Structure 1
Amino acid sequence: MKTRRPILFAAAATVTVAAAGLVYSRNRRHAPLAVAEHVDLVRYMGVWYEIARLPTRFERGCQHVTAEYTLRPDRKVAVVNSCRKDSPTGPLEIARGVARVVDSATNAKLKVSFFWPFEGDYWILDLDPEYQYALVGEPGRENLWLLSRTPQLAQPVREQLIAVAQAAGFPVEKLIFTPQPAANLP
């Protein structure tokens, strides 16, 4: 048994170093990702509709996607994501998580967890001064969301956000535009 411990330790260390190298090399391919200058967390709270996203396995088949954020007393953010699977009347799926600010200078960089201890980056890249739309992504450029306070977003605004994402190195040609209910139009 004693001879196996060094081998197991060496294997674990190799896997850890390889994973760290992969993360480093992914993030090194891109320039640093700019974020919104400042996010007033109180104004950011509430319901956001997903207008578009890069494909993710956990959102496969999702439509009518919303995210609701609530500021907790400990300054963390309660997250409730919901979607209808495969059709407008499909089963409602809900994911609950918690986000925490990791850059208090801007409040634009958060870590979100839906399954402890795993966390993902949630960076607010662009934000309307009136908090009516937002562009959210992460430094690896694998996840991206266009969000709006309403189920539909005007085409010029949508194109503006896509241009910002493209300039930042996101593969915008892969965007999926999320079906939202027409009944909720203002």
Structure 2
Amino acid sequence: MSLLHQRLVGATLLAAWLALGAAVAAPPVQSVAKVDLGRYAGTWYELARLPNRFQDQCVGDVSATYSPNPDGSMGVVNRCRKANGDIDRIEGRATLAAGDTSGAKLKVSFLPSWLQWFPVGRGDYWVVLLDPEYRYAVVSEPGREYLWILARTPAMDAPAYEAVVDQLRAGGYPVDQLVRTPHSTIPSPTAKQVQRLLWMGAGPAAPRRVAL
């Protein structure tokens, strides 16, 4: 076996060992024990996220507004500022995951309203960290592919933010890939605007983007 061959084999084995070690070290994703969806409702500002293709158009001012529906589901309005200054919006619906009574595991669909009852096209939305006073929250899913750090205000003091990141790092999340979200003074939608946007989303046209 040549020296080059030995080095290639060694590098491959090292990479496999590191990957196996990372998989073993990362515990299964756990949601929080309980989420009061009534308290969770309202507007959350995105402070940071793992990069994802659904938000490629978003350069800042990312927020999500949740409104309780009579059937127990939650209306969702996501918005962000694009590079040209326009505001991008998308409306959806969040429902409890099958068998979950904690309120911490939701299924979110951004399909047209007449398709949102079908199981296809619904993504996992797990609340994995939640401040007791509902001042900040972290949302992810079982594969750790998506991650959002949210807060009730567009900013969080540095020590509190770093404490959240440290908890996520200990939980096996790739926090070194987090992208911080800048915010300007664009106001969040009012409750009346949210309801109007949800009503407008009842048409057959599919939304363009999926965010939080």
Which residue number corresponds to residue 154 of structure 1?
Answer: 157
1:38 maps to 2:41? no
Which residue number corresponds to residue 100 of structure 2?
Answer: 104
Q: How does 1:131-146 map to 2 (within 5 A)?
A: 131-146=134-149
Q: Which string of whole-angstrom CA distances, capped at 9 and with x for unpartnered residues, describes residues 149-185 of structure 1?
A: 001011111111111221222111110000011577x
Measured after TM superposition, the shift of residue 106 of structure 1 is 1.6
Q: Is contact 2:66-2:76 (8 Å) kept?
A: yes
Q: Which string of whole-angstrom CA distances, capped at 9 and with x for unpartnered residues, describes residues 107-159 of structure 1?
A: 10111011243011110001111111001101111100000000101111111
Q: Radius of gyration: which is bigger?
A: 2
Structure 2: gaps of 5 or more residues: 1-22, 188-212
Q: How does 1:107-122 map to 2 (within 5 A)?
A: 107-115=103-111, 116=115, 117-122=120-125
The residue type paired with residue 100 of structure 1 is T
Measured after TM superposition, the shift of residue 61 of structure 1 is 3.9
Which protein is richer in strand relative to its size?
1
The residue type paired with residue 159 of structure 1 is E
Distance 1:68 1:183 in 2: 14
The residue type paired with residue 97 of structure 1 is G
Structure 1: gaps of 5 or more residues: 1-27
Structure possessing the higher relative contact order (Cα contacts under 8 Å, 6 or more residues apart):
2
The residue type paired with residue 95 of structure 2 is R
**More displaced stretch, 128-137 vs 114-123:** 114-123
Distance 1:156 1:105 in 2: 33
Distance 1:155 1:44 in 2: 23
**TM-score, with normalisation over the residues of structure 1?**
0.78
Alpha-carbon distance change, 183 to 94 in structure 1, aligned in 2, over 3 angstroms: closer
**TM-score, with normalisation over the residues of structure 2?**
0.69
Identity percentage over the alignment? 45
Which residue number corresponds to residue 81 of structure 1?
Answer: 78
Q: Is contact 2:138-2:148 (8 Å) kept?
A: yes
The number of aligned residues is 155
1:176 maps to 2:179? yes
Distance 1:137 1:157 in 2: 19
Distance 1:50 1:69 in 2: 14
Which residue number corresponds to residue 7 of structure 2?
Answer: none
Distance 1:98 1:160 in 2: 31
Which residue number corresponds to residue 3 of structure 1?
Answer: none
Alpha-carbon distance change, 91 to 32 in structure 1, aligned in 2, over 3 angstroms: same
